[in-house]
Copies of this chain bind each other. A is one copy, B any other.
Amino acid sequence: MTKFGVHERPLPDLFADAAFDAFDDSGIEPPEIEALYFGNAMGGMTENDTHLAPTLASHIGCTGVPAQRFEDACATSANAFKHAVEAVESGRHDVVLAGGVERCTPETGLGTGAMTKVFVSAAHRQYEQPAGLTFPGVFALLTKRHMHEYGTTEEHLAEVAVKNHYNGTLNPRAHFGRETTVEKVLDSPIVADPFHLMDCCPFSDGASAVVVASEEAAESFENPVDVAGVGHATDVVPLADKDALPATQAARDAASQAYDQAGTTADAIDFAEIHDCFTGAEVMATEALGLFEDGAGGPAAAAGRTALDGDVPVNPSGGLKAKGHPLGATGTAQLVELTEQLRGEAGERQLDDPERAVAHNLGGDAATTVVTVMEARQ
C-alpha cells in the first residue's frame, strides 16, 4: 500500500505504486496476473473518472485481463477482494490482483465540504439524503443509541481515538503521525453529537493491493498468509427500518460466515483491523465481531484491552482514524496490515506472534459489511 495522506498524482499512478509493491512482495510479474478485482467508490463524482479497471490494467502491465470495478461505498475493496478469493477458490483463476484507490483530500479533490456531499450519495436517496443525514450523523445516531442502551461515554470513545493515534505514530504509512489525549479529543469541536472532530477519521488519498493466489501458485511465494474465511452481508436500509441500531447486524452476519468458513470463533482471534470511520463505529464493531460482549466495547477500550499490549489489539495500523481513509483503498489496506502482522513484519507496532486476525470493512449507512479472517502459515 502507499502511504495514506495527500497524493497530487493521477489515480492510475497512485494505484500502480500499490500494485507494484504487491508484485515485488510476491515475486511475480504483471503478465502473471490473470484478473484484476478493483475498487473505487466515488471517482465518477470526484474526478469524472469511471470504467477505471481497464485503464488500471493497462497501466500496470496487465492489459487484456478480465478487470472490473466494484463500488460498495467504503466496503468497496474488501468486496473486490471477496470476489478475487472466490475466483481463485473456484479454480477459475490462480493468481489475481485485488485492490483499490481513491483521492479525497482537499489538495487533490473537491474539498472537505464538497467531499462530504459527494459521499452522502451512499446514504439512502429518498429518506436520508433529503434529511441532511451525512455520515457523521449516521454514525452519531448509532452511537447515541449505544450510549443510551449500555452507558458508553464520550470518554470511552475518546480512548479509541487516543489509542489509534498512538498506533499511527508507529506506522510510517499513516496519514497522521501525532499522538493525542482524551482531553484534546473532548476539547475538539463537535461535528455531530456525540462526535468531536477528533472522533472522526480523515479523508485521505491512497491505494492498496494484494495478490490472491491458489494454494499451488502460492508455493513459489516467499511468505504467504492464508485467507481462512470471507463473510459478506448487508443490512436493511434506510436506518429507520433497522431493528436495532447499534447492533450493526450486517457485521454480525458477515462475521458469522467468516468464522464458520475458517472453522474458528471470536475467542481465537488475536487482533483485529476495524472500520473505525468514527470512534463509535470501532466500539460497536468490537461487539459485533464477538471480541467483547454487547455493551462492553467502550469500557474495554478505556481499560486498554484493545491497545497494542492489550489482550485483543484493535487497529494496530492506526485504523481509519490515524492511518487514514481513502474510501476505495481502505478494505485491502486492512488486509495489508493483517498480512504484515501475521508475518511478523510490522516493525515498531508488531504484535506478539499473532496467528489469526480479522478485518472488518463497512460501507454506507451500516448497510454492507465484509469480514475477513486470515491466518499465519504454520
Write the residues of chain A forming the contact surface with B, with a CB cutoff of 8 angstroms.
Answer: 10-12, 41-42, 44-45, 47-51, 53-55, 57-58, 63-73, 79, 83, 86-87, 89-90, 92, 118, 120-126, 129, 232-237, 241, 249-250, 253, 363-365, 367-368
Contact = CB atoms under 8 A, between A and B. Distances in A.
Contacts of A72: 51, 53, 68-69
A125 B234 contact: no
B367 A241 contact: no
B364 A64 contact: no
A10 B126 contact: yes
B241 A51 contact: no
Contacts of A64: 233-236, 249-250, 253
Nearest to A127: B55
A360 B66 CA distance: 15
Nearest to A47: B125
Contact of A364 (B51, B122, B235, B364): B51
Contact of A234 (B45, B65, B232, B241): B65
Given A50-B71, A66-B233, 6 more contacts: A10-B126, A45-B48, A51-B367, A63-B236, A65-B234, A66-B234
B368 A51 contact: yes
Nearest to A67: B234
Contacts of A250: 64
Q: Which of A69, A86, A92, A363 has the most CB of B within 10 A?
A: A69
A367 B54 CA distance: 6
A51 B126 CA distance: 13
Contacts of A55: 124-125, 237, 367
B49 A121 contact: yes
A203 to B, nearest CB: 15
Contacts of A57: 234
Contacts of A364: 51, 54
A86 B79 contact: no
Contact of A121 (B50, B118, B363): B50
A232 B66 contact: yes
Given A55-B125, A368-B54, A45 B45 contact: yes
Contact of A368 (B67, B124, B236, B365): B67
A118 B45 CA distance: 9
Contacts of A42: 44, 50
Contact of A235 (B49, B54, B232): B54
A363 B86 contact: no
Nearest to A69: B71
A123 B54 CA distance: 10
Given A69-B70, A71-B69, A58 B122 contact: no
A363 B73 contact: no
Contacts of A49: 121, 125
Given A54-B235, A54-B368, A70 B73 contact: no
